[in-house]
Every structure is written in structure tokens, then in C-alpha cells.
Amino acid sequence: MTVERTLSILKPDATRRNLTGKINAKFEEAGLRIVAQKRLHLSEAQAGAFYAVHKERPFYKDLVAFMTSGPVVVQVLEGENAVAKNREIMGATNPANAAPGTIRKEFAESIEANSVHGSDSAENAATEVAFFFSGIEIVG
Ligand code: CMP
């Protein structure tokens, strides 16, 4: 029984289609708590820095352009095994491979406009949470 925190981003395709409430309901129905949340319009430098790990990938430039194309909602989700649980709730990166009932199956438009980001490990979660939030902004 490990209570964890993970970083979640509702991407520009989700804010554009006014889906933030429907997506947040999926997290809450699955037992995750939103312990911090804010809406931002990322700059190119901010999105580039956040996704720096993908810098050499062919999709990096398009990814940064997409993530700066509209507002995002960044949030910290907390709960039992939050990192793995959130990845289950999101579904596979490519919506074509996502399981029924997952956010990406229901809402994602493409592998790029895939509605949500979630940290892929506890270690990355700590780094990603600290990228967007200070301790005083997280209220468990
Ligand atoms: P995310 O979890 O935010 O992490 C990196 C993102 O790159 C990923 O979700 C996708 O939205 C995006 N992406 C675009 N093209 C690809 C691809 N071919 N493979 C993996 N990720 C991709």
C-alpha cells in the first residue's frame, strides 16, 4: 500500500473540446485525488524543457508545437500506486491501441493529440511534479 503522487497534463486537444471535467471524473471515479491543479498556456521554452527527454525523437518539434497550441491543465494526482493507476486510466499512448473505457480510447484524437500525459515512473513523477508545482501548491 503505497500512496504516491503523479503529474498529469490535460493537453490542448482536451481543453479545446471542453473535456476537463469529463477527464477529471475518470480520475476521481478510479480513486485518484486531484491535490493540485492549474491552467497554463505553455511557452515553447517551457514545453521544450518539459519534454527534453524526447529531444532526439522525430516527433519532438511537432509535440512542442502541439503542446503550445492552446491551454493545458497541469495537475498532481494522489492515491494508491498513482503512477501505474493513472497510466491504466489513460490507456495506451496511441488511442488505436487503448483499452475500452480509458481516457485515450474515449477522447484522444491521435497519438499526438492524445488528451493526457501522465508520468511513467515514480522517479519521473517527482521531477515532473517539481517542474510545475511548489510544495505549498499541493494540498493533500
Ligand atoms: P506523452 O505521454 O505526453 O509523452 C510524449 C508524447 O509524445 C506522447 O504522449 C505523445 O502524445 C507524443 N507522440 C507523438 N508522436 C509519438 C510517437 N510516434 N510515439 C510516442 N509518442 C508520440
Query: Which residues are annotated as catalytic?
Result: 117
Q: What is the pLDDT of residue 39?
A: 98
- Please enumerate in sequence order all residues whose Cβ is within 8 A of that of 2, keeping only pairs 6 or more positions apart, or say none: 80, 81
Q: Ligand 1 centroid vs 54 CA: distance in angstroms?
A: 9
pLDDT, residue 5, reads: 98
Does residue 112 have its Cβ closer than 6 Å to ligand 1?
A: yes
Residue 1 has pLDDT above 80, yes or no: no
Taking CA atoms only, the protein residue closest to ligand 1 atom 3 is 117
Q: Is pLDDT of 11 > 80?
A: yes
**Mean pLDDT over each residue of the chain, to the nearest integer:** 98
- Rounded-to-integer distance, Cα 91 and Cα 89, Å: 6
pLDDT at 138 over 80: yes
- pTM score over 0.85: yes
